[in-house]
Each structure stands twice: as C-alpha cells, then as structure tokens.
Chain A
Amino acid sequence: MSSWFDYTLNGIIIGNIYALLAVGLALIFGVARLINFAHGSVYVVGAYAGFVAVTQFGTPLPLTILIAVAVGALLGLVIERFGLRPLQGYAHIAPLLATIGISFVLDQIMQLTFSPDPRALPSELLQQRFQVGSGTIGALDLLIAAIGLASAGLLYAFLRYTKLGWAVRATAQDRDAAQQMGVNVDAINRTVFAIASGLGALSGLLVGMYYNYIDPAMSFQATLKGVVAQVVGGVGNVPGAIAGSLLLGLVESYGIALFGTSYRNLFAFVLLVAVLVLKPNGLFASRRQTPPEPMTGTFIAPSKPIHIPYRILVALALVAALLPAVLPDPYVLQTLTNAWLYGLAGLSLTLIAGTVGLISLGHAALLAIGGYASALLSINLGVPIGLSILSAGLIAAAIGTLLVFPSFRLRGHYLSIATLAIGEIVSLVILNWESLTRGPIGISGIPPLSIFGIELDTDRSIYWFTLATLVVLAALQFRLLGSHLGRVLRAVRDDDIAARSYGIGLNRYKALAFAVGSFAAGISGGITSHLYSYINHETFNSQLSILALTIVILGGMGNVAGAILGSVLLVGLPEVFRIAAEYRVLIYGLVLLLLIRFRPQGLLGTV
C-alpha cells in the first residue's frame, strides 16, 4: 500500500510543476483568447536567465528568482507589443500562428547563444530533503508548491479586489464591452502578458533547479504539458489550471504504476480527450459560465480570396510537370517532391480546418496511419504498392474520422486541443502496439514506389507521380468547393447555428469533410513510407502537425491553391536558407512572423 502513497506524492509533485506552467497559459487564454505556444520558450529563457545569474554572478536564490521573473516579464511585454498587438482585429488564427513563429525564433536564439548542450543549474541551499512515506521530498518541492499556491492566491486577490484586476476580468468576459466602458484593453493585455511570462520564466528557473538540468529544446514539451493541464482544468480558469495540473500529474503517475512507463503520456492524453468530450469547459468550470468560445465566424476571418483563373492554374501545373525536363537537378526535384507530399497534407488540412473550421493540431497522425497502413499491407499481405497507397487513404479516412467523431461537438480552440491529443494518442499507440507496428524499432525494408508493377526508381518518375497525385486530388477538391456540398461545409464553418436551423446535420457533414480530407493525408503518408523505406513512430511527429497547420494558414484557410503555395514556400524556404547554416531556422521563423504580420488572412486569402 505504501507504494500507492508514493505514487500519489509523485503525482502531486510533478503536477505542481505543470501548475506553474498552466497558470500562465490560463491567464493569457483568459484575457487574450489565445493558446500561447511561445510560453515554453519564455520558460526556457527564464531558466537560462537564472543560469547566467547563478553561474556568472553567483546571485543568491531570491535575487535569481527576481532576475528570472523580470527577464520573463520584459520578454512578455516585447512579445505582446511586437508580436501580437499588430495582429489585433484579425481572426484568432493569426496570433496563434504568430506565437508558434515567436517560439521558433526564441528557441533558436537560445540555442545559438548557449549552445544546444544541456547545462547543470545548481541550487545551493535547496538540497535538504524530508522523509515522507518511503521516499523523500526536498525543500525545492515545497518551494515550487508554495510559489504555485502563492502566485495563484495573489492572482486571485488581484483579479478579485483590485481595479486593474476587475478590468482584466471584464476584458476576459467581453473585450468590446470592456473597451466601451473605458477600459484600456491594450494595457490589460500588456499587464497579463507580463505577469504570465514572469510566471513562465520563474517556472523554467525552478524546474531547471529541480532537475539540475536545462537545455534549449525543452520548450515544446513544457508548452504541451501546460496546455493539457489548463484545458483539463478549464481554459482561462486559473484555479482550475492548478487543479487540472495536479490531476494530470496524478493520472500520469497512476498510469505508470498500473501499466508501465511507456504508457505515461497515453493516459495524460486520454484524460484530456475524455474531459473535452464530456465537460468541454473543463472539470472545474462553473455552470453559469458562458461557453468561452461561441465565436462563430471569428476564429477564421472571412476575406476576399485572390482569384486565380483556371487557365493560369493549368499553366502552372504544366510548368511543374515540364520542370524535370528543363531542370533535372535531383536536389530541386526532391525538394519539390517533398513540397507536393506536404501539399497533399495541406490540401487535407485546408479542407478540414479551412473549409469546415475544424482546426486540427494532430494532423500528422493521419499521415502516420496512412504510412503504416501502406507499409504493412505491402510487406505483410503482399498488396501491390499502388493499391496499398489507395487503401492507406481509405484506412486513414476511416480511422481518423472514427477517432475525431466524438469531438465534433467541440469548437474553436477546444477542438484543436482534442485533435492535438488524438494525434499524440495515435503516435503512442503505434509505439506500444508492438505486435503490429514493431514499436520503436520501426518498419524497415518497405518496398520502393511502383505502379502496375513498374518500379519508380528515378527522381523524375517519383516527382511526376507525386505531382500527378497532388493535381488530381487538388482538382477534385476544387470541384468539391464549388459544389453545393462545398457551400454547405462553409455554412457549417461560418455559422453553425444558422446552418443547423436550415436542417443541416452538422456532425454528418463534418464527418464527411474529415473523411475526404483524411484520405489525402493518408495517401501522402503512404507514398512517404515507400519513398523512405523505413518509418517508425517518430517519422510523423507533432512538428509535422504544426508545419501542416502553418502551411494552411499561410496559404489561406480553405484555399486549395494556397495550400500548395504554402507548402512550396515552407518546404522551400528552409532549403533556400541553407547557406545560413545554424541560423536558418531563426531566419525561417522571422520570415514566418513577417508573413503573418502583413498577410494574416494568408497569402491567397480564405475561401
């Protein structure tokens, strides 16, 4: 029995750490209606600020904390002023993407400044430990808990009893109304970003000291866990975020206890999906609370798409088809082949996210399903390659739609988080279902691409094959968008209440669109697996999901030509910046930020 006590204690300790992250994310979401993907980067900056202070200047702990908080708060102000304020008034999707861009830039700056090597972050006076149960807890654990509780208490008092706090809450409830009542919404936003980022930096410092370990790559995982914790507690709900964090910590710990370490995150994400589907406002939302996101039509801004005449599109396709004859450079062809494969993923996501408004953050899962399906069908059952790829599309459509179906009642950010979780779940199932997927060892010896028994073994033939697949699917999607069905799908996106009152069965149409979209993603994954000859659970990772979404937003939501253009740019730019070596991801992030700044509705506009 004593082990259960230990598991509980460990769950609370790790939950404590998540809470520090989740509180900041919850604050920002509460006021700015934004999942701040740069929060993990602020956390890293805080950790390194503390590292420099301690190792270079030997600062005592209170001063180190003060420095980290100040650096974080300052960074929060800069992010708000230069990254997000210019995007005010645009659809919510633009700032979301901007935070992704900011996190690229910040992580890269940290890596260039401090080298990618992990560092020790010593904490001199916090090494005392107390015996509890059969384990011990340290002074640092208590300090983390105290700071978590104290900051939550202070925030509560601030929001409840100060004038500025009222203004923050008013802004959170109804931004426009608050502005009409004379609240300086910009100032509120600034304040909230400074507070939340200060907290984020502090958590980076404390967690770094806790593990005696910091590295610049730890930001993504921090953001992910923080987001899960705050959604479980109810987005934008500060006490809820703390409770959600503790719950998340406990579920992970019990998951390990019952099933083993490799199932840890599986439980975290299953919890998340369950909470979202059963109690979309979070476990700790009060009943009276209005759903924070009706936001019909505000998540994706309507805009006038740039109309490209059919003749030009056909001409462009022809140019693409003739390119290998003019420019037979295999490197260029490979880069474009990659772009066409991403283009397929982009087509898929632009239909799901853009046309129907289901912003998916777990799109890589569909490619993974497609990739594994085609690889396993061809290896285990000897299905011919062309047929296996086609089946991969169908299997991805079936499994993908089935997995997401329960989440169709969710909207906006909630659906995004649910898809993020489903994506992680798929990847973890692939990792753990060894009898089928060979677990982490992966599948090697996947036969090369061929159609009708003819092997495609030249760079040109592979290029033409992927291009042709893309063109066919893109043409079909064009037709779909112009049809009655396309208009119905857009109606669901723009105003689902109105759509429903016209007798449109929302879930059916969402499912239909999701299935059609997943088909293209499955095809993309299937082709990829034959090109690579080897895949494992890391081949289609969450970075790919983020990239797919970036492609879609950059091209213009729902815009078929935009998805392809976005894909060519996002695959091409990092290659173009190769001469910049270590700096190329930094430059890429900056270019991305500028594109969002000046074309928040996407390059070709929302369709």
Chain B
Amino acid sequence: MPALHRRLLLGATAALIGLSAMPAGAQTGPAKGEPIYLGVSGPLTGPNAQYGAQWKQGFDLALDEINGAGGIKGRPLAYIFEDSQSDPRQSVAVAQKFVADKRIVAELGDFSSPASMAASPIYQRAKLVQFGFTNSHPDFTKGGDYMWSNSVSQADEQPLSAAFAVKRLGMKRIAVLHLNTDWGRTSKDIFVKAAKEDGAEIVATEGYMPDEKDFRSTIVRIRDAKPDGLMLISYYSDAALIARQLQQAGVKLPTVAASSVYSPKLLELGGDAVEGIFTASRYFPEDPRPQVRDFITRFKKKYAKEPDAFNAYAYDTMVLMAQVMRESGTDRKAIHDGLLKVKDVPSVIFGKATFDPNTRRVSGAMSVDLVVKNGRFTVYEGGPVVH
C-alpha cells in the first residue's frame, strides 16, 4: 500500500460514488442541437502560449466525455477560445466581447493575474461568471461575487509542501528558490511561514524572473548559505533548468518542488538531473481513483502523452461547469447560483469539489508525495533523507 494521505482514500471512495451517480439524469448517446458556449480568455500566442495549448487539450478531453454522454440536457457543450496573449489590454477587450455575446454563459480564464484581474470589473458589472481556474492570487475572488476559482489555493498547498520537506524528509535548513511573480511570491511567503512553524530554519530565499535561464550564480549563493535541503517554487521548465545547473555545479541537495512541476516535460528537459526530486501532486499515474484512471487513460489515448497539471486543471474545470449547468440551468445567473449550490463534483484535483460560499474557492486539494525515480514520477514511500 503506497503511503497515501488518508484524505486521498476518502476522496477516492467519494469520487467513485460521484461517478456512478453522474450519468443517472443525463441522456445517453451524443448531444445534438445548438451548443451551449463557454468563453475562454487565455494565451494562444505570445510567451505563455504553451499554457493555452495545454488548456485546450484538457477542455477537449472533457468535452468528448460530456458530449458523448448527452451533453447538457441533450445540447452539446462547446467553448470559444479568444487569444489574449495573457495581456491585460487584450483580456479586457475579450471580456467585453464575451459579455456582449449572449451565447456565452460563463467565462473561463485568464492565465496571468494582471490579465485576469484587469478584466474582473467588466465581468462583475455584466454579471457574467469569471471562472479563473489557474488564478491562485489571493485577491482574485475578492474582485466581486462573480469571480470564482477552483485553482489550488497556495494556503492549502504550501503547508503540505512544508510538512513534506520538514517532517517527512527531515530538512532543517531550507533554501527557497522561487519565481518572482505574484504566484511564486505568495507561495514562498506561505511556505516559509509553514516551514518555520514545523521547526525548520529558512537560510536563503532567492526570487528569479520567469525568463531567467542562467542560475549558476544563484546556486553559489544558495550553496554558501549551507542548506540541507532545497525548495523550488517553480514551473517545470525553470525547475528542469535549475536541476541541471545544480548538477553541473556539483551541488547535491535533497530538493522538493511545488506541484506545478508535475509534467512529463520536467523529465524530458531535466534528464537525469531531476532524478530524486521530490514533489507533490494531485494525482499520480497509478492512482486508484476511477476519475483519475479514466482521465489518464483517455488522455494518453487521445494525445499519446502523459497529462500534466495544467491539462488536469482545464479538464476538471470543464467537468465542473457541465455539472453546474446540468443541475442549475444554462443562463448566466443560474450558473452563478449553481456554483454556490453544487456539491462534491468528482474531480481529479480535489477528489470532490465543493465551493466555500465566502471565498468562492475550493479547498482540500488531494496531495500525494512523489519522487522522480528512474525517469518517472513514483509515489514516495521512504522516510527522512536528511539526518
């Protein structure tokens, strides 16, 4: 039995029940007729285009399933993806476009906080739900009661990472490398606080820019702080670069990385340098939950590769929206109210997702501790690595 968190197992059972319950009200056979549209505002071009591409894969996979099983009361669900380049100037125009388009019943995105939150006043005024499924910025849902998010809150995730690093792996002197963005900065602050509460000392924190490629001097600085472990609050591409340069600099430190590195790309870009990196994930390849098994199998069949975190967020979100619409109807107001009411939606990320009516966020993300072993993510079953 892998060392799973208890919550995960509970979640698995719940998901099973959820799955078997779901098709009951829905018709079988493919959906027909005029589609119901969601608007997606996100990057398809520009520096963040890779994330928009991953969203699409997740959405399309979920739609195959939803529309194959009768769609929303017989009507197919579809989305209109407008490229914003994750630029606030364009995301506000996209917002107006969606608001004016009566076919759009809710909006998903945008990717970066400046782009998403610049558009929030427009969605709020027009009373169109803005569902920021990658928006972990603590102030995102404070934009108004039409801002919702099922993004994993860093207040949830980082204490788990800290517990993994300190309590399970035994790190006592931790150096933190973080992306110097709103996400990285928020995560770092929460991680540092949690790690200190768990009894570790933070010996260095270094923030780097998203387009940074060279980390050699940063590594020297970290090495000189004499940590016994490293925490990376990074995306997979930076994490791979950092791991390679750590290896080249001859610095061998047990390393924990934020769950955002969970991607086959980390293994491809990092090669043997990412071997032994610890991370947490919302799901893992051998996950017994049926929702996850189904997601991974169908994803691999459709795209011939392993899904990553962004694929999963997009997939989960589409499944959730479909559930809300099936239960509460398909006009803008109904979706807003439906989000309040919806309970225990089967979810890859959360096991089952329910919104907190005050924060309009979902808490209690699944977490399983992983390690990269023989070029694969595997469940970590060991104990402390720092003595």
Residue numbers of A with Cβ under 8 A of B are: 3, 6-7, 10-11, 13-14, 17, 108, 111, 115-120, 122, 129, 131, 134-136, 138, 207, 211-213, 215, 217-218, 220-221, 252-253, 256-257, 260-262, 264-265, 329-331, 333-335, 338, 431, 439-442, 444-445, 448, 457, 459, 531-536, 538-539, 543-544, 571, 574-575, 578, 581-582, 584-585
A221 to B248 CA separation, bound complex (whole angstroms): 23
A122 to B272 CA separation, bound complex (whole angstroms): 12
In the assembled complex, which residues on chain A have CB atoms less than 8 Å from the CB atom of B223?
134
A452 to B127 CA separation, bound complex (whole angstroms): 26
Indicate whether B88 reaches chain A with its CB closer than 8 angstroms. yes
* Chain A minimum-CB-distance residue to B218: A261
B180 lies within 8 A of A534 (CB): no
In the assembled complex, which residues on chain A have CB atoms less than 8 Å from the CB atom of B181?
440, 538
A331 to B139 CA separation, bound complex (whole angstroms): 26
A212 lies within 8 A of B271 (CB): yes
Interface string of B247-283 (1 = CB under 8 A from A): 0111000000000000001001111000000000000
In the assembled complex, which residues on chain A have CB atoms less than 8 Å from the CB atom of B46?
217, 585
A261 lies within 8 A of B269 (CB): no
In the assembled complex, which residues on chain A have CB atoms less than 8 Å from the CB atom of B117?
444, 532-534
In the assembled complex, which residues on chain B have CB atoms less than 8 Å from the CB atom of A582?
44-45, 83
In the assembled complex, which residues on chain A have CB atoms less than 8 Å from the CB atom of B142?
444-445
A265 to B214 CA separation, bound complex (whole angstroms): 12
Minimum CB–CB distance from B144 to chain A (whole Å) comes to: 10
A13 to B213 CA separation, bound complex (whole angstroms): 13
In the assembled complex, which residues on chain A have CB atoms less than 8 Å from the CB atom of B244?
211-212
Minimum CB–CB distance from A496 to chain B (whole Å) comes to: 36
Minimum CB–CB distance from B134 to chain A (whole Å) comes to: 15
Residue numbers of B with Cβ under 8 A of A are: 44-47, 49-50, 52-53, 81-83, 85, 87-90, 92-93, 95-97, 99-100, 112-114, 117-118, 120-122, 125, 137, 139, 142-143, 177, 180-182, 184-186, 206-209, 211-214, 216-218, 220-221, 223-224, 237, 240-241, 244, 248-250, 265, 268-271
Q: Rank and list the top 9 A-B pairs by shortest CB-CB distance, nearest first.
A: A532-B118, A116-B49, A534-B117, A334-B96, A10-B216, A444-B139, A116-B50, A256-B217, A217-B47
B207 lies within 8 A of A534 (CB): no
In the assembled complex, which residues on chain A have CB atoms less than 8 Å from the CB atom of B114?
442, 532, 534-536, 538-539
B45 lies within 8 A of A108 (CB): yes
Minimum CB–CB distance from A436 to chain B (whole Å) comes to: 15
A118 to B237 CA separation, bound complex (whole angstroms): 7
**Contact pick for B118, options A335, A539, A581, CB 8 Å:** A539
B82 lies within 8 A of A578 (CB): yes
Minimum CB–CB distance from A470 to chain B (whole Å) comes to: 16
B248 lies within 8 A of A211 (CB): no
A14 to B248 CA separation, bound complex (whole angstroms): 14
In the assembled complex, which residues on chain B have CB atoms less than 8 Å from the CB atom of A3?
220, 224
**Contact pick for A338, options B89, B221, B249, B271, CB 8 Å:** B89
In the assembled complex, which residues on chain A have CB atoms less than 8 Å from the CB atom of B113?
442, 534, 536
B186 lies within 8 A of A584 (CB): no
The contact sample of 30 A-B pairs, CB cut-off 8 A, is A119-B269, A120-B269, A122-B271, A212-B244, A212-B270, A218-B211, A256-B217, A256-B218, A261-B177, A261-B207, A261-B217, A265-B209, A331-B100, A335-B96, A338-B93, A441-B182, A441-B186, A442-B113, A532-B118, A533-B120, A534-B139, A534-B143, A535-B114, A535-B118, A571-B89, A574-B90, A581-B83, A582-B45, A582-B83, A585-B85
B185 lies within 8 A of A439 (CB): yes
In the assembled complex, which residues on chain B have CB atoms less than 8 Å from the CB atom of A441?
137, 182, 185-186
Q: Given the interface contacts A536-B113, A536-B182, does A261 sit within 8 Å of B208 by beta carbon?
A: yes
* Chain A minimum-CB-distance residue to B204: A260
**Contact pick for B237, options A215, A331, A445, A459, CB 8 Å:** A215
**Contact pick for B217, options A122, A257, A578, CB 8 Å:** A257
* Chain B minimum-CB-distance residue to A529: B118
A532 to B89 CA separation, bound complex (whole angstroms): 9
In the assembled complex, which residues on chain A have CB atoms less than 8 Å from the CB atom of B95?
334
B118 lies within 8 A of A117 (CB): no
Minimum CB–CB distance from A3 to chain B (whole Å) comes to: 5
A587 to B100 CA separation, bound complex (whole angstroms): 26
In the assembled complex, which residues on chain A have CB atoms less than 8 Å from the CB atom of B82?
578
A330 lies within 8 A of B83 (CB): no
A272 to B86 CA separation, bound complex (whole angstroms): 30
A135 to B217 CA separation, bound complex (whole angstroms): 11
B112 lies within 8 A of A538 (CB): yes
Q: Which of A117, A440, A459 has the most CB atoms of chain B within a 10 A radius of its CB? A: A440
A14 lies within 8 A of B45 (CB): no
In the assembled complex, which residues on chain A have CB atoms less than 8 Å from the CB atom of B122?
334
B185 lies within 8 A of A539 (CB): no
A117 to B224 CA separation, bound complex (whole angstroms): 34
A135 lies within 8 A of B249 (CB): yes
A260 lies within 8 A of B206 (CB): yes
**Contact pick for B250, options A136, A253, A531, A581, CB 8 Å:** A136
A215 lies within 8 A of B224 (CB): no
B112 lies within 8 A of A213 (CB): no
In the assembled complex, which residues on chain B have CB atoms less than 8 Å from the CB atom of A17?
214
A457 lies within 8 A of B125 (CB): yes
A575 lies within 8 A of B93 (CB): yes
Minimum CB–CB distance from A110 to chain B (whole Å) comes to: 11
In the assembled complex, which residues on chain A have CB atoms less than 8 Å from the CB atom of B248?
129, 135-136, 138
B250 lies within 8 A of A135 (CB): yes
In the assembled complex, which residues on chain B have CB atoms less than 8 Å from the CB atom of A578?
82-83
A531 lies within 8 A of B182 (CB): no
Minimum CB–CB distance from B167 to chain A (whole Å) comes to: 28
Minimum CB–CB distance from B271 to chain A (whole Å) comes to: 7
In the assembled complex, which residues on chain A have CB atoms less than 8 Å from the CB atom of B216?
10, 13-14, 135, 253
In the assembled complex, which residues on chain B have CB atoms less than 8 Å from the CB atom of A543?
87
B214 lies within 8 A of A14 (CB): yes
Q: Given the interface contacts A117-B53, A329-B100, A444-B117, does A213 sit within 8 Å of B269 by beta carbon?
A: yes
B214 lies within 8 A of A335 (CB): no
Minimum CB–CB distance from A133 to chain B (whole Å) comes to: 10
In the assembled complex, which residues on chain B have CB atoms less than 8 Å from the CB atom of A538?
112, 114, 181
A211 lies within 8 A of B241 (CB): yes
B89 lies within 8 A of A7 (CB): no
A265 to B210 CA separation, bound complex (whole angstroms): 12
A14 to B113 CA separation, bound complex (whole angstroms): 31
A220 to B265 CA separation, bound complex (whole angstroms): 23
Minimum CB–CB distance from B88 to chain A (whole Å) comes to: 6
A352 to B191 CA separation, bound complex (whole angstroms): 46
Q: Which of B83, B90, B217 has the most CB atoms of chain A within a 10 A radius of its CB? A: B217
**Contact pick for A252, options B49, B217, B269, CB 8 Å:** B217
B213 lies within 8 A of A211 (CB): yes
In the assembled complex, which residues on chain A have CB atoms less than 8 Å from the CB atom of B220?
3, 6-7, 10, 135, 257
In the assembled complex, which residues on chain B have CB atoms less than 8 Å from the CB atom of A439?
180, 185
Minimum CB–CB distance from B264 to chain A (whole Å) comes to: 10
In the assembled complex, which residues on chain B have CB atoms less than 8 Å from the CB atom of A215?
50, 237
A135 to B142 CA separation, bound complex (whole angstroms): 47
A219 to B112 CA separation, bound complex (whole angstroms): 21
Minimum CB–CB distance from A428 to chain B (whole Å) comes to: 9
Minimum CB–CB distance from B125 to chain A (whole Å) comes to: 6
Minimum CB–CB distance from A137 to chain B (whole Å) comes to: 8
A534 lies within 8 A of B96 (CB): no
In the assembled complex, which residues on chain B have CB atoms less than 8 Å from the CB atom of A333?
96
Q: Given the interface contacts A108-B45, A120-B268, A538-B112, does A531 sit within 8 Å of B118 by beta carbon?
A: yes
A10 lies within 8 A of B49 (CB): no
Minimum CB–CB distance from B355 to chain A (whole Å) comes to: 21
In the assembled complex, which residues on chain B have CB atoms less than 8 Å from the CB atom of A444?
117, 137, 139, 142-143
Minimum CB–CB distance from B99 to chain A (whole Å) comes to: 6
B143 lies within 8 A of A212 (CB): no
Minimum CB–CB distance from B228 to chain A (whole Å) comes to: 18
B221 lies within 8 A of A335 (CB): no
* Chain A minimum-CB-distance residue to B181: A440
In the assembled complex, which residues on chain B have CB atoms less than 8 Å from the CB atom of A122?
271
**Contact pick for B97, options A217, A331, A531, CB 8 Å:** A331
In the assembled complex, which residues on chain B have CB atoms less than 8 Å from the CB atom of A253?
216-217
